[in-house]
Amino acid sequence: MKNFLITLIIILIPVRSFGLIEVDITRGNLNPLPIAVSPLSIDEESRKNFQNILKKKNIGSEISSIVENNLKVSGLFNPLNKDAFLQEPDIANLKPRFEDWNLIKAQALITGKVSYVEEKLRVEFRLWDVLAGKEMMALAFTTVPNNWRRVGHIITDKVYERLTGEKGYFDTRIIYVAEEGPKTQRVKKLAIMDQDGANNKFLTLGNELVLTPRFNPTSQMVTYLSYFRNLPRVYLLDIETGTQEVVGDFPGMTFAPRFSPDGKKIIMSFAKDGNSEIYTMDLENRIVEKITNHPSIDTSPSYSPDGKFISFNSDRSGYQQIYVMKSDGSNVKRISFGKGIYGTPVWSPRGDLIAFTKLHKGKFYIGVMRTDGSGERLLTENFYQEAPSWSPNGRVLIFYRETKTDSKGKGFSAKLWSIDLTGYNERQVPTPTDGSDPSWSSLLSN
Amino acid sequence: MKLSKILKNGFLIVVACLALSACATSKKSTGQMQGDVYTGTDTVEYLASGVPDRVFFATNESVLTTASRETLRKQAAWLRKNSKITIVLEGHADERGTREYNLALGERRANAAKDYLMTYGISSDRISVLSYGKERPVDSGSNPLAWSKNRRSVTVKAN
């Protein structure tokens, strides 16, 4: 990950003036903003250099396609067909002819330039308000050529932030469980990929069952459950070095791990004698603390972003319901009171909502509620789906969905899906194999 | 006064209805299921002649049924006769629950079996418990009968 350092070189003045275009992300966006992504222009010598290094014919167009795809998948933007563009990319980057872009109904325009400078990839781009005829933002940065996909994601993050007023979520990764084989003998591997499905990599070989990987919000560490030697235990994995270790020394199954928001503790369940309780372990001094104390199943713990509270699910009322307590285990309060069973609470990074899985009358739902349990809203219904994970800006949820097996034992699949907090823009996230248990990373840059 | 009496009677009627419907569902037998507990033998293997290797549970439950206790008593008798044998109790859940809760539920089911074996004289030193949650179904179907076969605790010889 050493290559991931990106230096921001110049920041031309971001124009903050009244009346420029804005995108409202708090509602389902039925009219995505028409945006023209002009291919990043590139001089012939730079083009050839990058072709040699990256085996891509035109890296400028490749980066633009990444931006375009990100914008489209966000559901908030409608990238226009390039065939209709009248102005050449290099000239547009200097000074767009706004009337031309207006003609094809573009409201925003992205232009830019890539060049090869001292073995590095230098990119500059501009965001323009077509109607107002004004530059909204201009940025340039330099990085190693191999980072070219990330360049596309960073551009998207900047554009998204400028137009919506909130941080983006494109320069991020997803860790998940890749699945293959028959349902009765599923082979599962840890896998990691960019948020758009590119750069998929398997992190384990599939020799042992692995489940529920989760990112550390502050580093490239992952915690997950492995059945190594048939002993289900919570592990810690450093993605950069590949080193792994068991978390704590428990005489039985530990599971359902997550990091604390500062990344310094792991919270998880430990099952013993038919009773599962929630524990934390401090990763620095290895001190283990027992947080819950109840003869019921207490599991799926998740911290609030300020670290002061923990949500979890428990069947102490007879069925699985969601509870919130202080991080020392005091003040336990049930917050889910709707019809059905509730599980997998996950606190939004914005702090205001808890996402959950609900089972009611044979259907599974992904939903959100306020942290006191009020304002329950179900976003999506299906035969089976669970385990939502938040995008770092708290606007999108990723989860997994399984399909029914028919009477002949066929038809089973597990796929990753995402949906906006608004309940709109539901999409399958592409993975090379089946997938489950997704966890969204923090923004890699800034 | 009358109103309260009417309410009281109404309440009793409601309770009676609930009791009846509960009976109707829990006693319903489809040949391979009683209530939603599997009673068939399709997936059952044998530790020794006449000693079934597994017991089945109702949805979300870890309570041992009469049939399960009978199976476990047979296992206990077999284990007493074969005192060198150690076992793993593998607890499982069906696919209709969240993964993490099911891991806990599988552990709870296997421990219910373990506790019962211990009351019949089998030392806890000879028993280990392993939950698979919903990760290792025996029947890949997505229907109530398949799910009933998958809600199980299986006794596996460890040596």
Do A209 and A305 lie in a common domain?
yes
Assign B29 a pLDDT band (cuts: 50, 70, 90): low
Q: Which of A131, A164, A197 is the C-terminal boundary of a domain?
A: A164
Q: Residue A301 half-sphere exposure, CB side, CA atoms within 13 Å?
A: 34
Q: From residue A354, give the alpha-carbon distance in Å to each of A36, A258, A335.
A: 36, 15, 10
Whether B124 contacts chain A with CB within 8 A: no
Whether B135 contacts chain A with CB within 8 A: yes
Kindly give, in sequence order, each residue whose CB lies less than 8 Å from that of residue A435, ignoring residues fewer than 6 positions away: A176, A177, A178, A179, A191, A400, A414, A415, A416, A429
For chain A, the first-to-last Cα distance in angstroms comes to 15
Q: What is the CATH number of the domain that holds A58?
A: 3.40.50.10070
**DSSP helix/strand/coil, A4:** helix
Whether B96 contacts chain A with CB within 8 A: yes
Can you give the length of chain B in residues? 159
Q: Which residues pair with A365 in a beta bridge?
A: A358, A381
CB A442 within 8 A of CB A399: no
CATH number, domain B31-157: 3.30.1330.60
Average pLDDT over residues A21-26: 77
Tell me which chain A residues have a C-beta less than 8 angstroms from the C-beta of B95. Answer: 384, 402
In a domain? residue A427: yes
Question: Which of A285-289, A403-407, B9-13, B91-95 shows the lowest per-residue confidence on average (mean pLDDT)?
Answer: B9-13
Better-predicted residue by pLDDT, A15 or A445 = A445
Q: Cα B117 to chain center, whole Å?
A: 14
- The two tokens of residue A127 are 């965001």
Q: What is the pLDDT of residue A219?
A: 85
Better-predicted residue by pLDDT, A22 or B91 = B91
Q: Which residues pair with A359 in a beta bridge?
A: A341, A364
Considering the entire predicted model, what is its pTM? Answer: 0.91
Helices (H), chain B: 2-26, 66-81, 99-119, 144-150
Tell me which chain B residues have a C-beta less than 8 angstroms from the C-beta of A185. Answer: 136
Whether B102 contacts chain A with CB within 8 A: no
For chain B, the first-to-last Cα distance in angstroms comes to 71
**How big is the CA angle at A185 (ends A183 and A189), to the nearest 5 degrees?**
95
Do A236 and A138 lie in a common domain?
no
Residue B104 CA to residue B99 CA, distance in Å, equals 9
**DSSP helix/strand/coil, A306:** coil
- The two tokens of residue A342 are 């509730």
- pLDDT higher than threshold 90 for residue B25: no
Determine the structural domain holding residue A199 and report its residue range. 173-440
Best mutation target among B42, B107, B116, B128 (most A Cβ atoms within 10 Å) is B107
Better-predicted residue by pLDDT, A158 or A2 = A158
Residue of chain A whose alpha carbon sits nearest to that of B110: A274
Residue pLDDT, tens place only, B146-155: 999 999 999 9
Residue B108 phi, psi dihedral angles, 5° rounding: -65, -40
Residue A427 CA to residue A446 CA, distance in Å, equals 27
**B142 vs chain A: nearest CA distance in angstroms?**
5
Best mutation target among A250, A314, A320 (most B Cβ atoms within 10 Å) is A320
**DSSP helix/strand/coil, A136:** strand
Q: Which residues pair with A95 in a beta bridge?
A: none
In a domain? residue A446: no
Q: Nearest 10 degrees: CA dihedral of A286, A290, A295, A300? A: -70
The DSSP letter of residue A38 is P
Do A87 and A157 lie in a common domain?
yes
Residue A165 buriedness (CB in 10 A; 0-12 / 13-18 / 19+): exposed
Residues of A with CB under 8 A from a CB of B: 182-186, 209, 211-212, 225, 230, 232, 252-253, 255-256, 269, 271, 273-276, 297, 299-300, 313, 315, 319-320, 343-344, 357, 359, 383-384, 386-387, 402, 404-407, 409, 412, 436-437
- Tracing tokens 């633009």 back to the chain, one arrives at A64
Assign A409 a pLDDT band (cuts: 50, 70, 90): confident
User: Is B142–A383 a contact, with Cβ atoms under 8 angstroms apart?
Assistant: yes
Domains of chain B: which residue ranges?
A: 1-28, 31-157
Whether B143 contacts chain A with CB within 8 A: yes
Question: Which of A57-61, A241-245, B100-104 shows the lowest per-residue confidence on average (mean pLDDT)?
Answer: A241-245
- pLDDT higher than threshold 50 for residue A16: no
Do A274 and A366 lie in a common domain?
yes
Whether B136 contacts chain A with CB within 8 A: yes
Residue A84 CA to residue A391 CA, distance in Å, equals 33
How many A/B residue pairs have CB atoms within 8 Å? 100
Q: Which of A182, A186, A386 sits opposite B99 (nearest CB)?
A: A386
Residue pLDDT, tens place only, B44-73: 999 999 999 999 999 999 999 999 999 999
The DSSP letter of residue A405 is P
Do A300 and A363 lie in a common domain?
yes
Q: What is the CB neighbour count within 10 angstroms for residue A55?
A: 7
Q: What is the pLDDT of residue A11?
A: 43
Residue of chain A whose alpha carbon sits nearest to that of B100: A256
User: Is B104–A276 a contact, with Cβ atoms under 8 angstroms apart?
Assistant: yes
Average pLDDT, chain A: 93
Average pLDDT over residues A249-269: 97
Average pLDDT over residues A242-265: 95
In a domain? residue A445: no
Q: What is the pLDDT of residue A18?
A: 52
Residue of chain A whose alpha carbon sits nearest to that of B112: A274
Residue pLDDT, tens place only, A162-186: 999 999 999 999 999 999 999 999 9
Kindly give, in sequence order, each residue whose CB lies less than 8 Å from that of residue A149, ignoring residues fewer than 6 positions away: A63, A66, A194, A198, A199
**B138 vs chain A: nearest CA distance in angstroms?**
6
Sheet containing A221-226, strands listed edge to edge, beginning at the edge strand earlier in sequence = A210-215, A221-226, A233-238, A244-246
Number of domains in chain A: 2
Tell me which chain A residues have a C-beta less than 8 angstroms from the C-beta of B105. Answer: 297
**DSSP helix/strand/coil, A256:** strand
The DSSP bridge pattern shows strands B127-133 and B87-92 to be: parallel
Do A159 and A194 lie in a common domain?
no
Whether B103 contacts chain A with CB within 8 A: yes
Do A229 and A272 lie in a common domain?
yes
Q: What is the CATH number of the domain that holds A417?
A: 2.120.10.30
Q: Which of A225, A274, A404 sits opposite B111 (nearest CB)?
A: A274
Residue A279 CA to residue A224 CA, distance in Å, equals 15
Q: Sign of torsion, CA A138 A142 A143 A145?
A: positive
Residue pLDDT, tens place only, A93-107: 999 999 999 999 999
CB A387 within 8 A of CB A357: yes
